[in-house]
Amino acid sequence: MKKHIVLKTPVPGPRSMELLEARRAAVPRGVSNITPIAVARGEGAIIEDVDGNRLIDFAGGIGVLNAGHAPPAVVRAVQQQAEKYLHTCFSVALNEPYVRLAEAMNRITPGAFAKKTFFVNSGAEAVENAVKIARSHTRRAGIICFEDAFHGRTLLGMSLTSKTSPYKDHFGPYAPDIHRMPYAYCYRCPWGKKFPGCNIECGHFLTDFFKRYVEPDTVAALLIEPILGEGGFVVPPPEYYPILTKICRDHGILVIADEVQTGFGRTGRMWASEHYAIEPDILVTAKSLAAGLPIASITGRAEIMDAPMEGSIGGTFGGNPVAAAAALAVIEQFEKHNLPERARKVGEKVRARFEGLWKKCPAVGNVRGAGAMQAIEFVRDRTTKEPAKDLVRDIVRLCYERGLVVLSAGTYGNVIRTLMPLVITDEQLEEGLDVLEGAVLEAAQAHMPAPAETPLPVPAVGPALGPVTGEAKHAT
Ligand code: PLP
C-alpha cells in the first residue's frame, strides 16, 4: 500500500505535458529533461507536480537537496535576508552572510590548518577557480584528472570531464595541460586485477605516469572526486588516496578535492575526503551547500588561497547574500540534526535492499557506495559485464510513472544512483525502495529473461570503506 506516493493522473499528467510542449518551443534540446515532471512544490523528500501527483524524490535535484526540499529554517533565512537587501557584489561592498559563511566553511572542512574561502555560483566555476589558484600558487600549469570524472560544463570543466558524449559533443578545442589517469574502478579494473590482492596498482601508477606522460615539476594539482559522482558512484579502496596524496606531496603537487556531489553529508561523513583521511589543499563544493540556491565554495590552505593577487578572482554574483544566508542555515541544520549520521542510516537500508536485489537479479552486476550515496551497476551479462544502458533507461521511466524520481549515472549510462534528501523518513525510504525494486525486477525480466538457475559470481559489491587509515582532523 502506497502512503506517500499519490498518483491522481498518469505521470506525466496533462499539465506537465502542456509545460513540456511549451518548453520544447522555448528551450533548446541540449538542455535535457531526465523526467517529464513539472514541479508545483516540494517538501522534505516529496515532490508535488503540477497535476497534483505526489512523488518520492531519490534524485534531490542531482544531489542538491541533502537538507530536503524547502527546509523551513532555510526558507526563513532566505526571507529574512531578502527583506534586507538582495545583492551588493562582494567586491563593491561587503555583506555579512558572505564573511560568516567563509568562517563556517573554514571550520567544517577537513584540516586543522588556517584556511580561507571564497564563493562563486556553480560547481564548474568552483573547479575552475581551484585550478586558477593552484596554478597561481605553484607557478605550474599541469592538472592531473581521472577517467570517468565529471567536473562541469564550462570549457575547463568540460576539458577536465572524461565522458565524451554528450558532455564534449563537438565543443572543442579543449583546455590544454590536462593529463588523465585511470581511476580506481575496481569493478572494471583497468589493470584487470581484483581487490584486495592488487597492491593498489592504480595508485602506484602515478609514479609511472610521471615517467610516461608528464613531468611532476610541471604539475600544479591532482584533481580528485573522492568518490565518482556522474561517473557512477565508484568507491576507491581505502588505501588509494593515501598512496596518491603521498606521491603528490613528494613532488610539491597540490590535491584538490571536488566535493561538489560527495559533500554535505551524502557519504555518511560531512566530506567524502574524511573516509580516506585526506586533507585536501583545496576543497570545492556546491550542490547541497545552500539547499538549491546557487552558490559554490572554494576553501583551501590560507597561504595557497592568498596566492592570486588582489582583484584577480571573484565575480558579480559570487557569495550572493541570500544564497549565503541559505547556506548558513543549511550548515545549522546539518549540525543540529546530524545529517551525516542520518546518511549512514539511510545508506544501510538502501545497501541491504540493493544487495538483496543482487541475489535475485542477474542484471545487477555491482552494488557499491558510501552512506546514502549508493548505486547499482547493471550489466547484460555478469561475466562479460556488458553495460545495460537500455535497461537502466527503462527502470528510470518505470519509476517515475509509479511515483519515484531516480537518476542514472556512469560513463556507460548503466548505473542507478541514490541522491535522496537525507531528511527522508524511514517510511518514505522503504516505499521508494519498493518502487525501485519492483521496477528493476520487471525491467530486467523484460530485457533479459533469467535462466532458472543463475550463477552468482563474485565480487558482488564494491570495496568496503573503512576502517579508514586515520582520522582527518578538523579546525575547531
Ligand atoms: N563537480 C562534480 C563532482 C559534479 O558532480 C558537478 C555536477 O554534477 C560539477 C562539478 C559541476 O557543478 P555545476 O553543475 O554546479 O556546475
What is the secondary structure of 152-193 as a DSSP string?
Answer: -SSHHHHHH----TTTTTT--SPPSSEEEEPP--GGG-TT--
98 C-alpha to ligand 1 centroid (Å):
21
Pairing outcome for strands 46-49 and 54-57: antiparallel
| Strands of the sheet with 296-301, listed across from one edge | 115-120, 296-301, 282-285, 254-258, 219-224, 142-146, 178-181
- Are the C-beta atoms of residues 259 and 272 closer than 8 Å to each other? yes
Question: How far apart, in Å, do the first and last CA atoms of the chain sit?
Answer: 48
Say how far apart CA 261 and CA 281 lie, in whole Å. 18
Q: How far is the CA of 377 from the centre of ligand 1 (A)?
A: 21
Instruction: Report how far ligand 1's centroid is from the alpha carbon of 471 (Å).
Output: 26
What is the position in ligand 1's atom list of the atom closest to the CA of 259?
A: 3
354, 394, 395, 396: which is closest to 376 by C-alpha? 354
Residue 53 lies in a domain: yes
What is the C-alpha to C-alpha distance for residues 56 and 433, in angstroms, rounded to an integer? 10
The confidence score (pLDDT) of residue 25 equals: 97
Does residue 401 share a domain with residue 252? no
**Does 2 map to a domain?**
no
Q: Which atom of ligand 1 is nearest to the CA of 152?
A: 11
Task: Answer yes or no: is 6 within a domain.
Answer: no
Please give the Cα distance from 358 to 344 (Å, whole number).
21
C-alpha 32 to ligand 1 mean position (Å): 16
Instruction: Calculate how far, in angstroms, residue 156's C-alpha sits from the geometric centre of ligand 1.
Output: 12
Q: Which three cell numbers stand for residue 65?
A: 537537496
> Is 132 in the same domain as 165?
yes
Residue 5 covered by a domain: no
What is the residue-level pLDDT of the chain in tens, covering all 476 positions? 789 999 999 999 999 999 999 999 999 999 999 999 999 999 999 999 999 999 999 999 999 999 999 999 999 999 999 999 999 999 999 999 999 999 999 999 999 999 999 999 999 999 999 999 999 999 999 999 999 999 999 999 999 999 999 999 999 999 999 999 999 999 999 999 999 999 999 999 999 999 999 999 999 999 999 999 999 999 999 999 999 999 999 999 999 999 999 999 999 999 999 999 999 999 999 999 999 999 999 999 999 999 999 999 999 999 999 999 999 999 999 999 999 999 999 999 999 999 999 999 999 999 999 999 999 999 999 999 999 999 999 999 999 999 999 999 999 999 999 999 999 999 999 999 999 999 999 999 999 866 544 544 444 556 666 544 344 444 33
The CATH number of residue 33's host domain is: 3.90.1150.10
- Tell me the CA–centroid distance for residue 262 and ligand 1, in Å: 10
The answer to whether position 3 is within a domain reads no
Residues 55 and 100 in one domain: no
Residue 458: predicted pLDDT? 47
| CA 409 to ligand 1 center in whole angstroms | 13
Mutation test of ligand 1: which of 261, 267, 273, 284 has the most ligand atoms closer than 8 Å to its C-beta? 261
Query: Does 271 share its domain with 414?
Result: no
CA-225 nearest atom, ligand 1: 3
Q: If you measure from the C-alpha of residue 86 to the centroid of ligand 1, how many angstroms do you get, rounded to a whole number?
A: 25
- Residues within 6 Å of ligand 1 by CB: 62, 122-124, 127, 150-152, 225, 229-230, 258, 260-261, 286
Please give the Cα distance from 286 to 128 (Å, whole number).
13
Atom of ligand 1 nearest to the CA of 286: 15
Q: What is the DSSP letter of 364?
A: E
* Cα gap 265→363, rounded to integer Å: 30
The ligand 1 atom at the shortest distance from the C-alpha of residue 122 is: 15
Query: Rounded to whole angstroms, how far apart are CA atoms 30 and 329?
Result: 34
Name all contacts of 210-217 with Cβ < 8 Å and 24+ positions apart.
210/251, 213/179, 214/142, 214/144, 214/179, 216/251, 216/253, 217/140, 217/251, 217/252
Q: Which atom of ligand 1 is nearest to the CA of 294?
A: 15
Rounded distance, CA 144 to CA 209, Å?
10
Which of 183, 287, 293 has most ligand 1 atoms within 8 Å of its beta carbon, as the pocket-test mutant? 287
- Nearest residue (by CA) to ligand 1, atom 5, is 261
d(CA 207, CA 181): 11
Q: Is residue 8 part of a domain?
A: no
Separation of 1 CA from ligand 1 center, angstroms? 37
Ligand 1 center to 20 CA (angstroms): 25
* One domain for residues 328 and 345: no
Q: What atom in ligand 1 is closest to the CA of residue 124?
A: 16
- 290 with 375, same domain? no
Helix (H, G, I), strand (E, B) or coil at 323: helix
Span from the CA of 286 to the centroid of ligand 1 (angstroms): 8
Closest-CA residue, ligand 1 atom 10, reads 151
Residues 292 and 286: beta-carbon distance below 8 Å: no
For residue 266, give the nearest of 158, 372, 382, 137 by alpha carbon: 372
Domain membership of residue 237 (yes or no) is yes
**Are 280 and 192 found together in one domain?**
yes
Q: How far, in Å, CA of 268 to CA of 344, rounded?
A: 5
Domain span at residue 201 reads 73-337
Residue 213 and residue 323 share a domain:
yes
Q: Which of 337, 363, 395 is the last residue of a domain?
A: 337
pLDDT of residue 317: 98
Residue 472 confidence (pLDDT): 41
* 242 and 385 together in one domain: no
Domain boundary among 337, 370, 395: 337
Q: Looking at the structure, tell me whether residues 303 and 171 fall in a common domain.
A: yes
The confidence score (pLDDT) of residue 462 equals: 60
Spatial contact of 138 and 220, defined as CB atoms under 8 Å apart: yes
- Residue having the nearest C-alpha atom to atom 1 of ligand 1: 151
Query: Among 262, 278, 404, which residue's Cα sits nearest to residue 340?
Result: 262
Phi, psi values for residue 113, rounded to 5° = -110, 170
Locate the ligand 1 atom nearest the alpha carbon of residue 229 and give its number: 5
In a domain, 68, yes or no: no
* Claim to verify: residue 57 and residue 83 sit in the same structural domain: no
pLDDT for the residue 123: 98
Q: Which amino acid is at 155?
A: L
Q: Which of 285, 317, 337 marks a domain boundary?
A: 337
Distance 406 CA to ligand 1 centre (A): 18
Give the integer Cα–Cα distance in Å for 349 and 280: 30
Q: What is the CATH number of the domain that holds 265?
A: 3.40.640.10
Number of domains making up the chain: 2
Which residue has the CA at smallest separation from atom 12 of ligand 1? 123
User: Is 447 buried (19+), middle (13-18) or exposed (0-12) by CB count in 10 A?
Assistant: middle
For a mutational test of ligand 1's pocket, the pick from 150, 159, 267, 297, i.e. the residue with the most ligand atoms closer than 8 A to its C-beta, is 150
* Phi, psi for residue 167 in degrees, rounded to 5: -65, -30
Amino acid at 19: L
Q: Do residues 176 and 281 share a domain? A: yes
pLDDT score, position 1: 72
Distance 441 CA to ligand 1 centre (A): 31
